[in-house]
């Protein structure tokens, strides 16, 4: 069990994509006294070293409870704290479903129900199984459980109905009211916003890009736009021809990659522009802005200064060695040198001090490039296949070929 706790602390805790460099420094600062961290240890310790120290300091659970406590105190890591609690419950053998079974009665046959765990978005699966004879206490417990689920479904239905009639948006900043974007779809005068089709559209906007673990952020956040690419079609015309663009923004202390699904906001995402965003989604450390989000120009008293050091960090390309040490599923961004193009146009080899395979699918297979080109990879997912790490294109990936330079290509034996 101890090793399981350590795995959770390191691989599902400290190495989670939500824990960027700044959040990691926060964690070390909050643990400074209990772990007796010197200034040098705070500066030098990486995530593996900190996990080892937590294991030594908190031998009972490798510091998992302490990490959950710390994450709960950091607003941006509250979602991670919930995920860690779920993993802790699995190890303890006290998942939400098992607790309910215990309430229903210890004689309830475990083979008749399917495993159910609440997701980070509060969604739960329903238990299913064949009919069995249950003791009276267990029968009453299950009836109570089904009633609770029925009430929850009714409440959820009411919430969804209200949301489809028009989301409850926080007001725009006082000074920027005139420049706010409309938070809902614009409907022609001949169409009523109360029609079923309009409601469905609004509901789809609210749920666009929401996945397990995503968190809706209603509070306003002031950011500076660092860069943004031009809108592109991420779905082929026969699939709907939907458009989006990627951007990078920063607060005073940290930066974020952003997916923007409302291309009418492109003018807002101009380099060095200060904007205020709210009602956006945060997922795996990436911000998602859709038609239901609010994006406003910042008022005179909302201007922020972003350090050149942070801007440099946001624009840096990660080294391939660092990428290979990452967690599968992490999304990476950067400008890489192309070493080799495979004949199938699906596989590429990029390099710096090492090399790595890039795999593209669909619309990205028609891009022409040649060795020596610089490839800008945006939103590529780290995956592993047959013990080989790859950067793989996903639905929202973008790839751009930059001009051919006087690059000296390495030979394979150099790696």
In the 8-state DSSP scheme, what is residue 14? I
Which structure tokens are listed for 95? 């998942």
> CA 109, CA 134: separation in Å to the nearest integer?
8
H or E segment and range at residue 69? helix 64-73
Q: Regarding predicted confidence, which is higher, 20 or 399? A: 399
pLDDT score, position 97: 47
- Mean pLDDT along residues 55-73: 90
Q: For residue 258, give the nearest of 100, 318, 266 by alpha carbon.
A: 266
> CA 276, CA 298: separation in Å to the nearest integer?
6
**pLDDT exceeds 90 at position 244:** yes
Which structure tokens are listed for 383? 């995956």
**pLDDT exceeds 70 at position 302:** yes
> CA 121, CA 377: separation in Å to the nearest integer?
30
- Mean pLDDT along residues 168-191: 39
pLDDT score, position 313: 94
Lowest mean pLDDT segment, chosen from 155-164, 174-183, 226-235: 174-183
> CA 150, CA 140: separation in Å to the nearest integer?
15
Quickly count: other Cβ atoms within 10 Å of residue 398's Cβ.
Answer: 20
Lowest mean pLDDT segment, chosen from 22-26, 271-275, 311-315: 22-26
Which structure tokens are listed for 32? 């400074």
**pLDDT exceeds 60 at position 86:** yes
pLDDT score, position 19: 87
pLDDT score, position 187: 34
Beta-sheet strands, E only, within 251-292: 255-260, 274-278, 280-283, 286-289
Q: For residue 184, give the nearest of 196, 197, 202 by alpha carbon.
A: 202
266 Cβ contact partners less than 8 Å away, ≥ 6 residues apart: 228, 230, 231, 245, 260
Q: For residue 138, give the nearest of 111, 113, 101 by alpha carbon.
A: 101
User: CA dist 22 to 76, 101, 251, 305, Å?
Assistant: 11, 42, 12, 17
Give per-residue pLDDT as tens, 158-178. Answer: 444 444 444 343 444 333 333
- Mean pLDDT along residues 34-50: 88
Highest-confidence segment of 31-35, 106-110, 402-406:
31-35
pLDDT band at residue 258, thresholds of 50, 70 and 90?
Answer: very high
- Tokens 């150099």 belong to which residue? 414
The runs of H, that is alpha helices, within 93-134 are: 96-104
Q: Are 283 and 215 in contact (CB under 8 A)?
A: yes
In the 8-state DSSP scheme, what is residue 63? T
> CA 136, CA 198: separation in Å to the nearest integer?
48
Q: Regarding predicted confidence, which is higher, 36 or 1? A: 36
Partners of residue 400 on adjacent β-strands: 376
- Mean pLDDT along residues 239-251: 91
The runs of H, that is alpha helices, within 166-237 are: 196-207
The runs of H, that is alpha helices, within 268-318 are: 308-315
Highest-confidence segment of 25-39, 121-135, 255-269:
255-269
Quickly count: other Cβ atoms within 10 Å of residue 166's Cβ.
Answer: 15
User: CA dist 355 to 329, 336, 409, Å?
Assistant: 19, 10, 12
pLDDT score, position 347: 84
Domains of the chain and CATH, by start: 2-92 (1.10.533.10), 96-162 (no CATH), 174-308 (2.40.50.140), 317-414 (2.40.50.140)
**pLDDT exceeds 70 at position 202:** no
pLDDT score, position 116: 30
User: CA dist 208 to 32, 288, 373, 381, Å?
Assistant: 40, 9, 35, 20
Mean pLDDT, the chain, integer: 75
pLDDT score, position 180: 53
pTM of the model as a whole: 0.51
Lowest mean pLDDT segment, chosen from 32-46, 117-131, 160-174, 337-351: 117-131
pLDDT band at residue 93, thresholds of 50, 70 and 90?
Answer: confident
- In SS3 terms, 325-384 reads as CCCCCCEEEEEEEEEEECCCCCEEEEECCCEEEEECCHHHHHCCCCCCCEEEEEEEEEEE
Give per-residue pLDDT as tens, 346-381. Answer: 788 888 888 999 999 888 888 888 888 999 999 999
**pLDDT exceeds 80 at position 292:** yes
Judge residue 290's burial from the number of C-beta atoms within 10 Å of its C-beta, 0-12 exposed, 13-18 middle, 19 or more buried. buried
411 Cβ contact partners less than 8 Å away, ≥ 6 residues apart: none
Beta-sheet strands, E only, within 215-254: 215-217, 221-228, 232-233, 243-250
pLDDT band at residue 182, thresholds of 50, 70 and 90?
Answer: very low
Which structure tokens are listed for 280? 């956006």
Q: State what percent of residues in the chain have pLDDT above 70.
A: 67
pLDDT band at residue 336, thresholds of 50, 70 and 90?
Answer: very high
């Amino acid at each position: 069990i101890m090793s399981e706790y350590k795995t959770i602390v390191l691989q599902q805790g400290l190495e989670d994509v939500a824990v960027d460099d700044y959040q990691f420094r926060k964690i070390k600062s909050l643990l400074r006294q209990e772990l007796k961290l010197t200034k040098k240890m705070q500066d030098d310790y990486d995530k593996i070293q900190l996990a080892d120290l937590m294991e030594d300091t908190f031998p009972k659970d490798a510091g998992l409870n302490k990490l959950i406590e710390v994450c709960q105190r950091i607003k941006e890591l509250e979602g991670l704290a919930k995920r860690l609690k779920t993993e802790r419950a699995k190890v303890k053998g006290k998942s939400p479903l098992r607790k309910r079974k215990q309430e229903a009665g210890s004689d309830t046959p475990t083979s008749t129900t399917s495993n159910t765990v609440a997701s980070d978005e509060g969604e739960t699966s329903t238990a299913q199984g064949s009919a069995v004879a249950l003791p009276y206490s267990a029968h009453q417990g299950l009836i109570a459980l089904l009633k609770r689920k029925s009430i929850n479904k009714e409440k959820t239905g009411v919430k969804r109905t209200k949301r489809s009639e028009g989301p409850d948006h926080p007001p725009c900043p006082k000074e920027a009211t005139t420049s706010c974007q409309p938070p809902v779809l614009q409907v022609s005068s001949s169409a009523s916003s109360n029609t079923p089709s309009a409601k469905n559209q609004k509901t789809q906007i609210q749920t666009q890009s929401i996945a397990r673990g995503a968190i809706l952020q209603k509070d306003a956040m002031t950011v500076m736009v660092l860069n943004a690419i031009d809108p592109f079609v991420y779905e082929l015309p026969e699939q709907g021809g939907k458009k989006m663009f990627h951007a990078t923004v920063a607060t005073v202390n940290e930066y974020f990659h952003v997916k923007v699904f409302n291309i009418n906001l492109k003018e807002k995402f101009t380099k060095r522009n200060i904007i205020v965003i709210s009602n956006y989604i945060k997922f795996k450390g990436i911000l998602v802005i859709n038609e239901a989000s609010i994006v406003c120009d910042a008022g005179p008293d909302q201007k922020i200064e972003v350090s050149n050091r942070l801007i440099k960090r946001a624009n840096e390309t990660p080294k391939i060695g660092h990428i290979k040490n990452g967690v599968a599923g992490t999304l990476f961004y950067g400008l890489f040198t192309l070493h080799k193009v495979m004949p199938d146009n699906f596989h590429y080899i990029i390099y710096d001090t090492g090399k790595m395979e890039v795999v593209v699918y669909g619309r990205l297979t028609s891009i022409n490039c040649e060795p020596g080109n610089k490839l800008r990879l945006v939103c590529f997912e780290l995956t592993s296949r047959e013990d080989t790490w790859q950067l793989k294109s996903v639905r929202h990936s973008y790839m751009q070929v930059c001009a051919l330079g006087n690059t000296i290509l390495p030979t394979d034996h150099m790696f």
